[in-house]
Structure 1
Amino acid sequence: MMYLSRLRLSRDPQVQALNALLDPAPGGEREDAHHRLIWSLFAGDPTAQRDFLWRAEGEGSFLVQSQRPPAQSPFFEPPETRDLAPDLRSGDRLSFLLRANATRDLHRGDDKKKRQRVDVVMNLLHSVPKAERNAKRLDLAGQAALEWMTAQGMRAGFTPERVEVQDYQTVTLPGYRGKRIGEPRFGILDLTGTIAVTDPDAFLAKLGQGFGRAKAFGCGLMLIRRG
């Protein structure tokens, strides 16, 4: 059993006074603050591993998929929670919405054991002259997203039928204070489209785990509905 919850930051004036800390300006610090906030809803066991996925919806609103229903928190309004147990069959077509940190492993040099994890969009952009990158950014993001979703589907029991890029941005890892050149960044793809389920069990298992990396920073939650 999984749960899907809609959360909203509390409108209590004492909480609103902390808004600059709870909902900072866009960037890695914001994702880090949001992650810590949502942890407050699942903080009953200090030894527990993170068992939830989340995404920010803007204006202090969040969607959270979890293995446990969220608890009450002084930072949030009472959660709106429902059971999440999709009844899927092979061949079902689903519309999806996904915010993902999409990466792949590349072999470097002749040593097949040496691999480097790269962002799929950044990897394509590196081969484009800097003067042309802005113009080609979304086209290359669409190409990279389709290839990545196809690879995901082979392992997770679905076939992508349509993949559209709504946005692509890069975010600096929180806590970094060095020079901009060489700063550690990760890419975030906002994707929508349709998929066809080929293996319901594999797909539901992956749905619970999330897709891609950077799940602590609001990536990986796939929202689905029947097409």
Structure 2
Amino acid sequence: MHLSRLAPNLISPDVLRDLADLQQVHRRVMEGFGDAEGPGRLAHGVLWRWDADPGRPPVLYVQSETPPDWSRLPAGYLAEQARTRDLSEIRDILHAGRRFSFRLVASATRSIPSERISATDRPRGKRVPIGDPEGQLQWLDQQGERHGFLIEKSGSGRADIRVNTLPRGSGRRAKGQVTVTPVRFEGRLAITDPDAFWAAFTTGIGRAKAYGCGLLTLARP
């Protein structure tokens, strides 16, 4: 596994265009793997996200199974040289009970019933963003149960975590418009199932993984 940190040049026309279109960012990221047009995200194990902390310019993080080649990006796209580190050693330190600080940008959604077109039509749920912080925390707890981790609680019994709904993003693809309302979670977690956790770490958590969601990054607590 590899994690790249890309600092975009904010006066580059290519960067400004990408910041306004999630589909275009997806294509741009895939250029680093020689696969800008093909359905190659899964083949290369790619996840990405924008990090924009207050008072700092945005940074693009890209995780991948395939080593990237960022020299394929347009001239002047980056403000500084890309930095890529090997994450392979992380698998060896994932043990039950191990604690980490984490950041996750995810598409927290729920399913609501949709109207039937006819009496014989099978009803399908419609995915909608979860807008309230309590519901977002419940969503994250459910992801933890599924993916082998537990969100740590404070002394009051509440989740020791910061939750921020980020600005909605959109993009245009062949099938039509895509819209994502990402949520950023920051806090501490404890691993309960190392194998399930590693699978989530490498493949992402939640939906909209091609559009800047699902990437989980870890640090020492």
TM-score of the superposed pair, with normalisation by structure 1: 0.72
Whole-angstrom distance in 2 between the partners of 1:49 and 1:103? 25
Give the letter for the 2:60 counterpart: F
1:43-83: CA deviation from partner (whole Å, max 9, x where unpaired): 15965620211112343631111001111224345431111
**Residue pair 2:31, 2:73 contacting (<8 A) in 1 also:** no
The answer for the alignment partner of 1:155 in structure 2 is 146
The answer for the alignment partner of 1:54 in structure 2 is 48
**Residue pair 1:146, 1:163 contacting (<8 A) in 2 also:** no
Give the letter for the 1:8 counterpart: A
| Cα distance, 1:73–1:61 mapped onto 2, change above 3 Å | farther
1:143 aligns with 2:142: no
Structure 1 stretches of 4+ with a deviation exceeding 6 A read 109-112
The answer for the alignment partner of 2:4 in structure 1 is 5
Q: Percent of aligned pairs with the same residue? A: 33
**Residue pair 2:21, 2:169 contacting (<8 A) in 1 also:** no
Give the letter for the 1:153 counterpart: G
Say which of 100, 103, 106 aligns to 1:94.
100
| Cα distance, 1:60–1:195 mapped onto 2, change above 3 Å | closer
SS in 2 for 1:148: helix
The answer for the alignment partner of 2:214 in structure 1 is 220
1:23 aligns with 2:16: yes
Structure 1 residue ranges without an equivalent (≥5):
122-139, 177-182
**Pairs within 5 Å for 1:182-197:** 185-197=179-191
Whole-angstrom distance in 1 between the partners of 2:169 and 2:37? 28
Say which of 17, 20, 32 aligns to 2:23.
32
Say which of 73, 96, 106 aligns to 2:112.
106
Structure 2 residue ranges without an equivalent (≥5):
153-158
Segment of structure 1 superposing worse, 32-41 or 46-55: 46-55
Displacement after TM superposition at 1:116 (Å): 2.0
**Residue pair 1:23, 1:34 contacting (<8 A) in 2 also:** no
Whole-angstrom distance in 2 between the partners of 1:158 and 1:73? 37
Whole-angstrom distance in 2 between the partners of 1:169 and 1:61? 15
| Cα distance, 1:163–1:115 mapped onto 2, change above 3 Å | farther
Q: Across the two proteins, how many residue pairs are aligned to each other?
A: 193
Whole-angstrom distance in 2 between the partners of 1:33 and 1:44? 13
**Residue pair 1:100, 1:219 contacting (<8 A) in 2 also:** yes
**Residue pair 1:70, 1:79 contacting (<8 A) in 2 also:** no
**Residue pair 1:100, 1:190 contacting (<8 A) in 2 also:** yes
**Pairs within 5 Å for 1:107-122:** 107-108=113-114, 114-121=124-131
Displacement after TM superposition at 1:185 (Å): 3.8
Segment of structure 1 superposing worse, 107-116 or 83-92: 107-116
